[in-house]
Chains A and B, each alone.
Chain A
């Protein structure tokens, strides 16, 4: 079965640079979510989009922005990168079934290292 696709899988950036992470949801899923997982930590919710509109917002820094496009893929843009942004970034997707958005399916993640 098709899964969530994330690119790139690994990314190395310098401090103060920018990074763009991409997420391609499972076919027919209309909702994407972004999470950040620091080393040895639990995933922290950043932001979600449903039908190309921002739906829920978590602990996303002001330096980060995201959007969902007409083909439902999403991009997370990260500017003025800091050492503390080094983490695993997950995208998840879900589809509306019987009026509820419930089960999120996660991609393999993008590992970002900021030097």
Chain B
């Protein structure tokens, strides 16, 4: 079945450090890929997405590139802030011919940014 593997952390960085959170996937079809962020006590917010190979999603300084050859969608940010502290989920959707398919999530990566 479809699955997502991501580093679980916690990942602790200093403010202004470079961030990489690795995400790899296994899917039977051609998935769309997503990063969601969850702040403490809140719901999931879409951070960025990519729908086909070599697409780059970007938002709020975060970027991720859909790499079909390595089945990866790593999240990066050049300079993190304390406000980026949250749990980050990588997710995929295979989307079978327009059906409302559920997302498959990774286990989540808890990111802690220290001042």
Q: Name A residues whose Cβ lies closer than 8 Å to a Cβ of B.
A: 31, 33, 35, 41-50, 55-56, 58, 90, 92, 94, 96, 99-109
Q: Name B residues whose Cβ lies closer than 8 Å to a Cβ of A.
A: 32, 34, 36, 42-46, 49, 51, 89, 93, 95, 98-108
What are the residues of chain B within 8 A of A100 when measuring CB–CB?
95, 98
Bound CA–CA A100/B30 (angstroms): 13
- Decide: B95 and A102 in contact? CB cutoff 8 A: yes
Bound CA–CA A50/B32 (angstroms): 19
- Decide: B44 and A101 in contact? CB cutoff 8 A: no
Nearest to B110 among chain A residues (CB) is A40
- Decide: B43 and A33 in contact? CB cutoff 8 A: no
What are the residues of chain A within 8 A of B101 when measuring CB–CB?
48, 55-56, 101
What are the residues of chain B within 8 A of A47 when measuring CB–CB?
102
Most-contacted residue by chain A among B32, B89, B95, B102 (CB, 10 A)? B102
The verdict on A33 contacting B46 (CB below 8 Å), with A43-B89, A100-B95, A102-B93 known, is: no
What are the residues of chain A within 8 A of B106 when measuring CB–CB?
42
Bound CA–CA A45/B103 (angstroms): 7
Chain B nearest Cβ from A10, distance in angstroms: 11
Can you sample 15 A-B contacts with CB below 8 Å?
A33-B100, A42-B89, A43-B89, A43-B103, A45-B102, A48-B101, A55-B100, A56-B101, A56-B102, A96-B98, A99-B98, A101-B95, A101-B101, A103-B46, A107-B43
